């Protein structure tokens, strides 16, 4: 059995360095530009199909399943990859859920014990990122807050879209480098969302 990669501090961002340290298999260079497309009304349906499949595969082990990321925000341009948030009791206890996911065709791509015990799976027949976190993980609130704020705030939705489209025109060694470049704008938007919550 292979040894888990070394942990990184819990506060570390989900950066390319972290992903390389915790990925299963080789991570090649980004061979094509980051592709951002107009919002597609089919995305919610693709999520619903995955949610139904995950519910069927995991039953009560799936505590919550949410559509997150840019494809979950109507009207927002996005990479055409469906981001799904799966909450389980303990994401570090892979034996409790990973075999069932793998039997259904999901493939474990990233294991990050030092970053909220995050696990990332890819889908059997849809281009998706399935993010697995433990119940109570602070990243869950962050992802949902960002999604909900963009759904309700056209100005920040437009700011985020402009930022993504501008960054997508640049050359990136890895997709995560593009994601990291958005972090300042993401944090700016999250700060406004949190300030609004605290009013």
Q: Pairing relation of β-strands 64-68 and 118-122?
A: unpaired
Model confidence band, residue 24 (pLDDT cutoffs 50, 70, 90): very low
Distance between CA atoms of 179 and 69, rounded to whole angstroms?
Answer: 12
**pLDDT at 17 > cutoff 80:** no
Model confidence band, residue 169 (pLDDT cutoffs 50, 70, 90): confident
Residue range 66-80: mean pLDDT, rounded: 97
**pLDDT at 8 > cutoff 60:** no
Distance between CA atoms of 58 and 67, rounded to whole angstroms?
Answer: 17
Give the list of residues 6+ apart from residue 146 with CB closer than 8 angstroms, or none.
186, 189, 190, 193
Average pLDDT, the chain: 87
Distance between CA atoms of 165 and 188, rounded to whole angstroms?
Answer: 17
Enter the pTM of the model.
Answer: 0.84
Question: What's the confidence (pLDDT) of residue 176?
Answer: 77
Question: What's the confidence (pLDDT) of residue 75?
Answer: 97
Domains of the chain: 17-23+31-197 (3.30.460.10)
* Helical axes 183-197 vs 138-152, angle rounded to 10°: 80
Condensed to tens digits (0 to 9), the pLDDT of residues 99-130 reads: 999 999 999 999 999 999 999 999 999 999 99
């Amino acid at each position: 059995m292979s040894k888990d990669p070394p942990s990184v501090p819990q506060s570390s961002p989900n950066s390319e360095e972290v992903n390389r340290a915790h990925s299963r298999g080789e991570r090649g260079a980004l061979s094509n530009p980051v592709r951002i497309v107009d919002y597609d009304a089919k995305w919610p349906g693709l999520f619903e199909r995955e949610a139904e499949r995950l519910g069927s595969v995991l039953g009560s082990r799936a505590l919550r399943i949410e559509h997150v990321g840019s494809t979950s925000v109507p009207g927002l341009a996005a990479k055409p990859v469906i981001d799904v948030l799966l909450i389980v009791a303990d994401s570090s206890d892979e034996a409790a859920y990973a075999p069932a996911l793998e039997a259904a065709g999901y493939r474990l791509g990233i294991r990050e014990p030092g970053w909220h015990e995050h696990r990332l799976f890819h889908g059997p027949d849809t281009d998706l990122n399935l993010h697995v976190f433990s119940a109570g993980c602070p990243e869950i609130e962050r992802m949902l807050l960002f999604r909900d704020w963009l759904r309700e705030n056209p100005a920040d939705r437009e700011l985020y879209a402009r930022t993504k489209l501008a960054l997508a025109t640049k050359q990136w060694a890895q997709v995560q480098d593009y994601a990291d470049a958005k972090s300042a704008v993401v944090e700016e938007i999250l700060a406004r969302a949190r300030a609004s919550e605290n009013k």
